[in-house]
């Protein structure tokens, strides 16, 4: 096995021939480091000012004091940089619950069916004063904005996941306010992912993803007066179905009936 040597000298005196492949040349005046490729060719590995960064390339990330330099050497992104690249969103730490109505921003309380305790993160999105919307940390006293969402820059394109709640469990929200000045701008969060809960109103039946008219729930009557309205399904010439309504008198007139007796 050959011994790899390091030859040292002033840059002007470093050899240009007779070199052994694999040997290193170090210029003591400039700090430049070379490796010999052949008897007449040497390759510059690092300039004197960059020698420390070059040596860092051979080290594990955990051993490099300057993490930014290590990431540059290895061509990787930090977790924060990756987060900000995802769909242009700036993801924040998840919140425990999401508000459904205006609340007083102080003391522990129940939000969307979730009993909150001090330290919980909450997405406040339904304030009457929209300037106070945002991501907060619950406290026994006054709530404060979360440290990762307490400046205008941090709220711009801010996205957050709500983990619990009767209505908004497992949903994701994004701040859609384009220009923000805290305390001045109305802050709006809209849901862009996650499950939605729908409740069937009177006469409406929901089963899975199907919404139907439940006629059994509609009130029945045996008499009608002229102003009463009739609801029916109209099929257009293109085959589109839609609900329409008409008064009893107009319905009879349309049928050419002048008397219903």
Report pLDDT for 218.
62
**pLDDT of 90-111, one tens digit each?**
889 999 999 999 999 999 999 9
**24 and 42 Cβ atoms separated by less than 8 Å:** no
**pLDDT of 213-247, one tens digit each?**
766 666 666 677 767 777 777 787 787 877 778 88
User: Radius of gyration over alpha carbons of the chain, in Å?
Assistant: 36
Average pLDDT over all residues of the chain: 81
Quick check: 205 pLDDT over 80?
A: no
Report pLDDT for 31.
84
Q: Are strands 158-162 and 210-213 parallel, antiparallel or unpaired?
A: unpaired
Considering only CA atoms, which of 122, 135, 211 is closest in space to residue 168?
A: 122
3-state secondary structure 66-133: CHHHHHHHHCCCCHHHHHHHHHHCEECCCECEECCCCCCCECCCEECCEECCCCCEEEECCCCCHHHC
Q: Are strands 33-36 and 42-46 parallel, antiparallel or unpaired?
A: antiparallel
Report pLDDT for 244.
78
Report pLDDT for 82.
67
Long-range contacts made by residues 42-47, C-beta under 8 angstroms, separation at least 24? Answer: 42/14, 42/16
SS3 content of the chain, % helix, strand, coil (to 5): 20, 30, 50
Report pLDDT for 187.
97
pTM, rounded to two decimals: 0.48
Quick check: 66 pLDDT over 60?
A: no
Domain spans, the chain: 1-76, 90-194, 216-254
- pLDDT category at 115 given cuts 50, 70, 90 is very high
In percent, the amount of the chain with pLDDT more than 90 equals: 37
């Amino acid at each position: 096995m050959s011994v790899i040597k390091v030859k040292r000298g002033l840059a002007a005196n470093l050899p240009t021939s007779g070199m052994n492949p694999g040997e290193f040349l170090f210029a003591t005046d400039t700090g430049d480091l070379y490796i010999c490729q052949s008897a007449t060719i040497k390759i510059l590995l690092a300039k004197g000012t960059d020698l420390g960064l070059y040596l860092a390339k051979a080290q594990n990330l955990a051993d490099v004091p300057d993490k930014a330099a290590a990431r540059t050497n290895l061509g990787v992104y930090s977790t924060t940089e990756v987060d900000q690249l995802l769909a242009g969103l700036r993801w924040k730490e998840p919140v425990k619950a999401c508000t459904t109505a205006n609340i007083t921003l102080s003391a522990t309380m129940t939000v969307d069916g979730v009993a909150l305790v001090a330290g919980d993160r909450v997405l406040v999105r339904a304030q009457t004063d929209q300037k106070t919307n945002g991501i907060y940390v619950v406290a026994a006293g006054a709530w404060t904005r979360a440290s990762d969402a307490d400046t205008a820059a941090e709220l711009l394109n801010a996205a957050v996941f709500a983990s619990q709640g009767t209505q908004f469990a497992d949903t994701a929200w994004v701040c859609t306010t384009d220009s923000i000045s805290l305390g001045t701008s109305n802050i709006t969060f809209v849901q862009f992912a996650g499950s939605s809960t729908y409740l069937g109103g009177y006469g409406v039946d929901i089963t899975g993803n199907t919404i139907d008219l439940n006629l059994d729930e509609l009130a029945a009557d045996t008499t009608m007066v002229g102003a009463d309205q009739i609801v029916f399904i109209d099929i257009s010439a293109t085959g589109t179905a839609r609900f329409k309504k008409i008064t009893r008198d107009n319905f009879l007139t349309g049928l050419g009936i002048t008397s219903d007796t």
